[in-house]
């Protein structure tokens, strides 16, 4: 029987791209990813090569493709070298949607390939035509890391990775003048992305190793749930103290001790009750997001976003861990 596990991996990488496109703001297209790359150029690169492979795949399915693998791969390397300067100059707002459109078309073509075509490609140097998730994943990791660095820089008010002129008092990952309330949209988007990832999980997935300190997927879920629930408890205590109060800061040493001490508990819980672990992660995210969205008007949102943005913007904490979950699940499902 022909192994078509790449289809699910492609679907997951496309869903991950769609989530990025949905939440990406125009100012973030210019975020520097290093090595001459920006978010826009990485998306343009992804979109072009998915579109290129779609044209190639269409000819294969029509039986009109005759080029040799080796010559095609050599030509692709040359094209990459020639196109890199153009990618670096791209900042058009339509690039993200074009990347998603290209991925959608290519994945549909690949899913429609016959088993005979799949088997022929799997045994050739051109197997990457089927496994588009690998190329996308590489660049999505690159983009997510860059955006996270930009958010941290914006939170610290140091400028790099943010839109020109952004400085102290600007919400993480936003352009100057962006309403501080945008953290609510980022929370909702990150929770939707988390929900989409959890929806693809099976109970067996929770014992899978993740590339995060030797943790399993279940431990990453436990970590997410704990810190969302802990913050909710801290916000409730602050609200009980009176109008305008904020959660008391947690010393870094204490946070490190909690992160060192709790993983064994998270692992045991996820092993004994995997469905409960998945549900609790989503429930905790929904609870803190609802609490943040309904904070009283006296809450000094602008000041908190400038000084302690993670108290309001939960995407700052979730993004990296969700990317870890996506990578671990994609690796588990590769043939």
pLDDT digits (tens, 9 = 90+) for 39-76: 999 999 999 999 999 998 998 888 888 888 888 888 88
Q: What percentage of the chain has pLDDT greater than the value 90?
A: 46
Q: Quote the CA–CA distance of 210 and 212 in Å, as a whole number.
A: 5
Q: 16-20, 37-41, 208-212: lowest mean pLDDT where?
A: 208-212
- Residue 37 is given by DSSP the state E
CA distance 190 to 176: 22
Answer whether 30's CB lies under 8 Å from 91's CB.
Answer: yes
DSSP code for 250: P
Distance (Å, whole) CA 327 – CA 323: 6
**Please, are residues 231 and 311 in contact by the beta-carbon 8 Å criterion?**
yes
Question: Higher pLDDT residue, 152 or 246?
Answer: 246
Which carries the bigger pLDDT value, residue 102 or residue 1? 102
Question: Span 191-199, mean pLDDT?
Answer: 92
CA atoms of 269 and 73, how far apart (whole Å) = 48
Tell me: pLDDT of 274 over 90: yes
Query: Could you tell me which residue, 257 or 168, shows the higher pLDDT?
Result: 257
The whole-number pLDDT of residue 293 equals: 93
Would you state the pLDDT for residue 232? 92
The tokens 């004994």 sit on which residue? 272
- 122 Cβ contact partners less than 8 Å away, ≥ 6 residues apart: 3, 130
pLDDT the model gives residue 212: 56
Q: Are 153 and 160 in contact (CB under 8 A)?
A: yes
Pick the range with the lowest mean pLDDT from 158-172, 209-223, 284-298. 158-172
Q: Within 10 A of 37 (CB to CB), how many other CB atoms are there? A: 19
Decide if pLDDT at 177 tops 70: no
Rounded distance, CA 24 to CA 95, Å?
Answer: 11
Confidence of residue 172 (pLDDT cuts 50, 70, 90): very low
Q: Which two tokens stand for residue 175?
A: 């352009």
pLDDT at 192: 92
Query: Within 10 A of 36 (CB to CB), how many other CB atoms are there?
Result: 11
What structural domains and CATH numbers belong to the chain? 5-156 (1.20.120.450), 182-333 (1.20.120.450)
Average pLDDT rounded to a whole number, residues 157-161: 41
Residue 34 parent element (H or E): strand 32-34
Looking at residue 168, its pLDDT comes to 25
Mean local confidence (pLDDT), 245-257: 84
User: What is the pLDDT at residue 173?
Assistant: 30
Average pLDDT, integer, range 36-41: 88
Q: Name the residue among 291, 312, 315 with its Cα closest to residue 302.
A: 312
Q: What is the pLDDT of residues 302-313, one digit of tens each?
A: 888 888 888 999
Q: Read out DSSP for 72-94?
A: HHHHHHHHHHHHHHHHHH---TT
Average pLDDT over residues 221-232: 93
Q: How far apart are CA 49 and CA 36, in angstroms?
A: 18
pLDDT at residue 126, as a whole number: 87
Helix axes 5-23 and 182-199, enclosed angle (nearest 10): 170
CA-CA distance, 306 to 311, in Å (whole number)?
A: 11
Q: Is the pLDDT of residue 259 over 90?
A: no
pLDDT, residue 295, reads 93
Structural contact between residues 49 and 106, judged by C-beta atoms closer than 8 angstroms:
no
Beta bridge partners of 216: 209
CA dihedral 10, 12, 15, 21 (to 10 degrees): -80
Kindly give, in sequence order, each residue whose CB lies less than 8 Å from that of residue 7, ignoring residues fewer than 6 positions away.
107, 110, 111
- 83-129 pLDDT, tens per residue? 888 887 787 888 999 999 999 999 999 999 999 999 988 888 889 99
User: pTM higher than 0.85, yes or no?
Assistant: no
Task: Output the pLDDT for position 335.
Answer: 64
Among 288, 277, 227, CA closest to 256: 227
Distance CA 96, CA 29 (A): 9
Which residues, 6 or more positions from 57, have their beta carbon under 8 angstroms from its beta carbon? 106, 109, 110, 113, 129
Start-to-end CA distance of the chain, whole Å, equals 13
Residue 261: how many CA atoms within 13 Å on its side-chain side?
Answer: 7
Alpha-carbon span 244 to 299, nearest angstrom:
5
Q: What is the mean pLDDT of the chain?
A: 85
Q: What's the token pair of residue 130?
A: 């089927």
For the cut 80, the answer to whether the pLDDT of residue 182 exceeds it is yes
Of all residues in the chain, the percent with pLDDT exceeding 70 is 91
């Amino acid at each position: 029987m022909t192994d078509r596990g790449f289809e699910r991996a492609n679907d997951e990488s496309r869903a991950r791209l769609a989530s990025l496109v949905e939440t990406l703001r125009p100012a973030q297209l210019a975020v520097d990813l290093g090595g001459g790359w920006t978010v826009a150029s990485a998306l343009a690169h992804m979109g072009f090569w998915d579109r290129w492979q779609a044209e190639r795949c269409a000819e294969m399915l029509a039986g009109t493709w005759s080029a040799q693998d080796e010559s095609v791969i050599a030509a692709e390397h040359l094209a990459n070298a020639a196109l890199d300067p153009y990618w670096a100059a791209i900042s058009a707002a339509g690039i993200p949607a074009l990347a998603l459109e290209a991925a959608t078309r290519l994945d549909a073509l690949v899913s429609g390939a016959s088993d005979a075509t799949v088997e022929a490609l799997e045994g050739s140097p051109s197997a990457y035509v089927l496994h588009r998730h690998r190329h996308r994943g590489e660049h999505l990791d690159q983009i997510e890391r860059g955006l996270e660095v930009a958010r941290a820089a914006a939170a610290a008010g140091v400028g790099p990775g943010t839109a020109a002129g952004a400085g102290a008092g600007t919400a993480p990952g936003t352009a100057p003048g962006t309403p501080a309330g945008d953290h609510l949209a980022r929370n909702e988007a990150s929770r939707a992305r988390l929900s989409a990832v959890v929806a693809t999980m099976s109970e067996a997935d929770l014992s899978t190793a993740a590339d995060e300190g030797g943790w399993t997927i279940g431990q990453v879920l436990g970590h997410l749930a704990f810190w969302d629930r802990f913050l909710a408890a801290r916000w409730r205590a602050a609200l009980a103290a009176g109008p305008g109060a904020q959660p008391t800061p947690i010393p870094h040493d204490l946070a490190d001790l909690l992160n060192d001490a709790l993983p064994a508990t998270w692992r045991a819980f996820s092993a004994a009750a995997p469905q409960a672990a998945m549900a609790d992660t989503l429930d905790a995210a929904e609870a803190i997001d609802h609490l943040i969205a309904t904070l009283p008007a006296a809450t000094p949102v602008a000041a908190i976003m400038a000084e302690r943005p993670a108290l309001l913007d939960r995407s700052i904490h979730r993004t990296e861990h969700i990317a870890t979950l996506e990578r671990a699940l994609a690796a588990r499902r590769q043939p």
